[in-house]
Chains A and B, each alone.
Chain A
Amino acid sequence: AQSVTQPDIHITVSEGASLELRCNYSYGATPYLFWYVQSPGQGLQLLLKYFSGDTLVQGIKGFEAEFKRSQSSFNLRKPSVHWSDAAEYFCAAPNSGNTPLVFGKGTRLSVIA
């Protein structure tokens, strides 16, 4: 069965600084991988997804993620963080096919001035 690990529970960055959120998955020859963002009290918004092809994926809000098969990783990056990026970020991968999704426990991002 698939498992998704987000090693960092909470990260604090300064506004304007770069960001990298880590994600590791356990299973899948060519996995489908997703990053979602959740603002307080809200549902999940899809940031980006990887199915195949170019290992560097561009998403919304200036986010990108890089799939590294050798490291079983799909880390999320942003070159310059804005205060509005403060939220909970979830990495997800399917157990089989494209659903159901298995989520990591999330990384809470705080942004300071």
Chain B
Amino acid sequence: DAGVTQSPTHLIKTRGQQVTLRCSPKSGHDTVSWYQQALGQGPQFIFQYYEEEERQRGNFPDRFSGHQFPNYSSELNVNALLLGDSALYLCASGRGPQETQYFGPGTRLLVL
């Protein structure tokens, strides 16, 4: 049984560029949440997708957007990248918005 998978594992971008990160939830899970983890910090909630809609959103600017597909996989898009967007981006999935979340390995983004 595959767990949560994320791609790519690492990414290097320059300021002002745009990036798309991808997440496939654990089998049987229909809810995907995204978190940003800066170096030396705990993860911070970006947003959650359920039934292809954004259900909850954390304190992140509109440069951060997402999408959920009918197969429950999800994308995180970040526009106009800033140096401060450099972080580990974690995807978590669950059997519904109120259920325990299981995390993927993350995508490490470096913005130069």
Most chain B Cβ neighbours within 10 Å, of A45, A98, A104 = A98
Size of B's binding interface in residues, CB under 8 A: 28
A25 interfacial contact with B, CB 8 Å? no
Most chain B Cβ neighbours within 10 Å, of A42, A43, A98 = A43
A45 in contact with B48 (CB, 8 Å): no
B56 in contact with A90 (CB, 8 Å): no
Measured between alpha carbons, how far is A99 from B108 in the docked complex, in Å? 23
Q: A100-B33, A100-B45, A106-B42 are in contact. Are A44 and B90 (CB under 8 A)?
A: yes
Measured between alpha carbons, how far is A104 from B41 in the docked complex, in Å? 8
A105 interfacial contact with B, CB 8 Å? yes
Question: In the assembled complex, which residues on chain A have CB atoms less than 8 Å from the CB atom of B48?
Answer: 99-100
B106 interfacial contact with A, CB 8 Å? yes
A97 in contact with B105 (CB, 8 Å): no
Nearest 8 CB-CB pairs, A to B? Answer: A103-B42, A100-B45, A44-B103, A43-B105, A98-B98, A43-B103, A43-B106, A97-B98
